[in-house]
Amino acid sequence: MIWKNPNAYYARMFSFVPLLFCIAFGFMQIIKRIKWEWLKLIAVCAISSLIIIGGDNFYSSPWMSRADNSEKIPEGLTEVVEILSKEDRVLNVAVPDPLNVYIRQIDAHLITPYGRYMNGLGSAISQNNIDVPYVMTQAGEQAVDYIVINNSTESKEIFGDYGYVPQAETEKYLIYAVTNVPFIQRQYNKLRQITAEMTCDQDGNPVENAKGYATIVYEYDGKGNRTKETYLDKEGKRVEIIDGYSSIKREYRLISNLLESISYLDVEDKAILYDGRHETRYKYDDSKNVIQESYYDQNGNPMILADDTYASRMILRDSQGRKIGEQYFDTKGNNTVCSIGYASYILERDSTGNIIKESYFGTNGQPIRISAGYAGIRRTFTEEGKKKAEIYIDETDNPTICNAGYAQVRWDYDAINNTVLESYWDENGSPVRCTDGYASILRIYNDAGDIQERRFFDTNGDQLF
């Protein structure tokens, strides 16, 4: 959308952006030819004012027409949109999967749950035999106002069995209002940002959900970043949810607009200890990949992550931005050993991106055994990218028995890549029992691809249980 104006959705961006560029380029050429600097300044100010003042109404002008691309819009969908558009508000509409892109192209005031993707709701209402209770419950949880399904006698009967009557009906579609289920009621600001989400019962009264709140209130900065979310009870008062906080605060960098920090607050807006830290701050590389996380207490001082031993971690990346390792540091920036037993680790990848080796190091940069009993892992893969074997190695890169009782795990697959056999081997390549008492597992699948049976064997191949 241009200038935050929903009507701008009617202008096809692939054709409009080049046109806008040409217009801007033309204006710049005209301004360049003006001899007097003061006149140039006036011209720039005039054009800027025209854009700012007229921007919100540009696409609503009488001479603008809607670009429906009727040849691409599924038959009958425009009629549905015309019915729904009679309500002068932003509507959250669930439609069968093939339609969720087109419906917003006709009218940008209609949105689908969480954008294009509906967490299974779109697929559920695309079926011939619709699970009505599931669909309505999901629709309520996703703040859907209306459900649109294909018009058929069977579908009408299925919804009718649960007491639902179409709100409207066209030749191709049925429109049902989401009722008789707990639902999320949303509020929007002028920029169509969600400012509040309230959990309501079927009568529309606020109720507290399983997480201990009834309403989430959202705040935004000037760039549209969600900077704060606050939880309220059914009376509209601040409440601490079961996760232990009442609000989440995010700060973004002024220029790059990247997330700079995140902290969790109590009902008095004071930072609390959550997930081992009061505040997390981030650093990025030139490609906007996170390369460092640092943890701070309520006073803004570096702190050791609770239940671990480090105050920050450096994320190492290759030229493609893929993670190839991590390093851990204390509050003074010195390399330190994490709770698992290493100060850093390095990943090696093959040409397809598979991690073929993990290596662990101490603070002196030398290989070190971690708490699981090995200093690294070597992996091999099938042509399809499935793990074929894992070999656990010591500080000298030789196979070693890990704490689980084996030095190597191998996997065998069937024709459709189901894991049919998992087996354990010692450092010399001989079968060995793991600490759970068996040397291999055989998995048997049914025609649907689900595991039907597991069989366990000893080192001689005899079945145990």
Does residue 24 carry a pLDDT above 80? no
pLDDT value at residue 108: 56
What pLDDT sits at residue 6?
42
Total residue count of the chain as it appears in this document: 465
* pLDDT reading at 145 higher than 80: yes
Q: Which residues sit opposite 156 in a β-bridge?
A: none
Instruction: Dump pLDDT digits (tens) for 152-166.
Output: 888 899 999 988 999
What is the reported pLDDT for 443? 94
Most confident of 74-88, 186-200, 294-308: 294-308
pTM of the model: 0.66
| Confidence at residue 117, expressed as pLDDT on a 0 to 100 scale | 43
Residue 81's pLDDT is what?
A: 83
The mean pLDDT value of the chain amounts to 85
pLDDT given at position 184: 84
